[in-house]
Amino acid sequence: MKINSIKRRTLLGAGLAGAAALAMPAVLRAQDRSLKVGVYGGYFKDSFDKNIFPDFTKATGIAIESVAEPTGEAWLVQLEQAARAGQAPADVSMMSQVAMLKGQSTELWTPIDMARIKNSSYLLDRFINKYPDGRVAGVGAVSWYITLVTNTNVYKEPPTSWEAFWDPANADKLGLLALVSNSFLLEVTAKTFMGGTDALDTEEGILKAFDKLAEVKPNVRLWYRDEAQFEQALKSGEIPMGQYYHDVTGLAAAEGHPVRSTFPKEGGIQDSGCWALSRASQKVEEAHIFIDYMCQPAIQATLSRKVGTSPTVKRESTDLTDQEFAAVSSDIEPIIPRYDLYQTKSDWLNQKWTELIVG
Amino acid sequence: MRREPPKTFGDYAPLLFPAGMLTIFFVVPFGTMIAVSFFQRQQGGFYTPAFVFDNYARFLSAFFGGVLGFSLMLAIAVAVCCVVLALPFTYLLTRMARSVQVLWLVALLSVLSLSEVIIGFAWSTLFSRTAGITNVLVALGIMSEAKALTPSFAAVLTGMVYQAFPYTVLVLFPALVRLDPTLTEAARTLGASPLKAFFTVVVPALRNTITATLIMVFIFALGSYLLPQLLGRPQHWTLSVLITDQAIYQSNMPFAAAMAVFLVLVTLGLVALTVVAGRRGEAA
């Protein structure tokens, strides 16, 4: 089982890694140009250490000290508390979209000067995270898809639509993510049955989506927080359908497991991480050089090939072949999560969601 | 040598170390948690120091009452199952040869070295349709086709009893070893069957030990949050699971702290009730 490949989004041991990172003394000498970069621990950090950071140091002379960060919001809390004490456990960190918005509320992120990010012209607009007043809080680092996955032994034909989750024939066969803010099933429901995620603009719309989503419950065998649990069950056919990460499913299929990832006709869920600079960091100059470097189409293509992430730059700008692009992405318009809701209505959504699945 | 009761300050000095540890690692964190439980939650951000009851008010609902009730019921069920299984087991174990005892105790201790994650994954495999124990039953002709036994309440209960069983045996073992064997011998010579002697002599003689063990397993089981997730459906999630959700995924520390304080208070209340009831029973 490739435990390694899934660690970046799991939490086991991640808190420890974060604590260790905080406790670690600055080992680099002041006269060297250096930058501490936080990336999700495990597979992501290993891949970056191997495929990306050495070339960056060669090209710019800036040494990278990579810091394993936990996913979820634990790292955000640590960055915020450290920043209050004037410390930056990492200068630049890869942050989820919800964490970006929460950090904005306390001005945690130093605004990025886009004039100094020459390669930003290649970026897709949706990967630039902005403060309400237009300052840039974060720049797209990587993106990934959550798609409809199936066990090929159980489902000879791939499903074509998210509607498969609602099909009574799939009773007790699904594995879905357990949290409202990481499963993005409200968005899926809105896109599939309500004409788009705009339907979630009002509370009535959200409640309607919840009602529709309640119909899925009898089909769900597992609401998972731990990815390894679902991945194992999917491979064995124990739980033959569900939502899962496109990249990891592709890796499992390449290893010969009977699994497939399908982009439904309504689109896969595209989630992403931003590079963001802590306000406590003194390395503003180095951070801009780093972010600019990471926005190069060639680097984004390398990430797609080596890490399995989807590019945050326009596809035409990269030299990815059709096959390489299909392995990490799709031309079907993706479902973009309504991150704003998880900031403005987070407690209400969480309460409704918990009552829905637990009640 | 007769042991003197401590008199001077110096006699109490060895207590300073555990007292200090208890203060640093229990009293201070617990105090912090109580303080945070009154803080003001900033939705979409963090929290600010304040003195509000919002977090407790949110908890006081039928929904969370139901979850709390389930958590307590599950912990009680685990405690009762463990003691019912472990008491006869440990009693028989103490009657065995020394070498057999050592073997069993080492085996039980090795179960303690397993993490909750490993226990959860192992049981979910054993209870699965594709690789689980029902396949053996099918091969033996007892069942017609393999089926999944997880997620279910029985799976959660099994996993948690498995995890708590070694502790139960280790707590019961010393008391049972010290139990005067002449008590049962007397019962036997007076004509009681071994079974009757066990229930009329051994069990009453150990009543305090049994109560203490029940309380210990109950508290141990109450904190479980991984096994209910791995082996149960959402309706089998304990309050600890929801506390984790709030603390780690929603960064809502004040609400998580309020739920944890509530859980501790209810636990202490139940333990106090048990102790008081036990005293009454003794006096009667």
Render pLDDT for B256-279 as a digit per residue (tens, 0 to 9). 999 999 999 988 998 898 888 877
Least confident of A88-92, A165-169, B141-145, B229-233: B141-145
- Chain A residues touching B121 at Cβ < 8 A: 229, 232
Fill in the amino acid letter for A7: K
Tell me which chain B residue has its CA closest to the CA of residue A342.
B44
Query: Torsion-angle region of residue B49: left (phi > 0), alpha (psi -120 to 50) or beta?
Result: beta
Is the pLDDT reported for residue B284 higher than 60? no
**Average pLDDT score, chain B:** 89
Binary contact (B67, A358; C-beta < 8 A): yes
Average pLDDT over residues A221-249: 91
Pairwise CB contact (< 8 Å): B128 & A237: no
Q: What is this structure's pTM?
A: 0.83
Q: Which residues in chain B are contacts of A97 at CB distance < 8 A?
A: none
Give the one of B151, B237, B249 whose C-beta lies nearest to A221's C-beta: B151
B43: its two tokens? 């939705």
Strands (E), chain A: 34-40, 63-69, 92-96, 128-130, 136-151, 174-177, 220-224, 241-245, 259-262, 269-277
Q: How do residues A15-24 score in pLDDT, each as one tens digit? A: 444 444 444 4
3-state SS class at A291: helix
pLDDT tops 90 at residue A44: no
List pLDDT tens digits, range B220-245.
999 898 999 999 999 999 999 999 88
Lowest-confidence range among A93-107, B111-125, B185-199, B270-284? B270-284
Put simply, whether B131 touches A (Cβ < 8 Å) is yes
On chain B, the residues whose CB falls within 8 A of the CB of A214 are none
Burial tier of B107 (Cβ tally within 10 Å: 0-12, 13-18, 19+): exposed
Is B230 at the interface with chain A, CB within 8 A? yes
The pLDDT confidence band at residue A87, using thresholds 50, 70 and 90, is very high
Read off the amino acid at residue A311. Answer: P
Task: Decide if B44 and A343 are in contact by the 8 Å CB cutoff.
Answer: yes
* Strand pairing report for A92-96 and A34-40: parallel
Contact A226 B230 (CB under 8 A): yes
| pLDDT tens figures, A1-17 | 344 444 445 444 444 44
Contact in structure between A293 and A69 (CB atoms under 8 Å):
no
Closest chain A residue to the Cα of B121, Cα to Cα? A229
Cis peptide bond N-terminal to A258, omega within 30? no
Tell me which of A77 and B260 has the higher pLDDT.
B260
Cα→Cα distances B282→B29, B102, B232, B234, B272, Å: 37, 35, 39, 41, 15
Contacts for A299-305 with beta carbons within 8 Å, 24 or more apart? A299/A52, A300/A122, A302/A51, A302/A52, A303/A51, A303/A52, A303/A142, A304/A328, A304/A329
Residue A84 has what pLDDT?
87
Residues B91-100 have pLDDT tens digits of 999 989 999 9
Which residues contact residue A33 at a Cβ distance below 8 angstroms, ignoring those fewer than 6 apart?
A: A60, A61, A62, A63, A286
pLDDT tens by residue, A110-126: 999 999 999 999 999 98
Q: What angle separates helix A43-51 from helix A53-60, to the nearest 10 degrees?
A: 40
Residue A100 has pLDDT above 60, yes or no: yes
Closest chain B residue by Cα to residue A356: B234
Yes or no, beta carbons of B229 and A343 under 8 Å apart: no
Main-chain phi, psi angles of A308, to 5 degrees? 90, 15
Rounded distance, CA B198 to CA B195, Å? 5
pLDDT of residue A12: 42
Residue B166 has pLDDT above 60, yes or no: yes
Between positions 66 and 95 of B, the ones with CB within 8 A of A are: 66-67
Q: Supply the mean pLDDT for chain A.
A: 88
pLDDT at site B1:
55
Residue A59 has pLDDT above 80, yes or no: yes
| B248 vs A74, A222, A229: nearest CB | A74
Bridge partners, residue A177, by sequence: A224
Which residues lie below 8 Å from residue B274, measured CB to CB, with a gap of 6+? B211, B214, B215
- Touching check for B63 and chain A: CB below 8 Å? yes
Our CA angle for B116, A218, A159, nearest 5°, is 100
**From the CA of A82, how many Å to the nearest CA of chain B?**
14
Q: How far is B43 from chain A (nearest CA, A)?
A: 7
Residue B264: other Cβ atoms inside 10 A: 15
pLDDT in tens, A142-199: 999 999 999 999 999 999 999 999 999 999 999 999 999 889 999 999 999 999 999 9
pLDDT above 70 (res B198): yes
Cβ atoms < 10 Å from Cβ of B215: 17
Rounded to an integer, the average pLDDT of A129-134 is 94
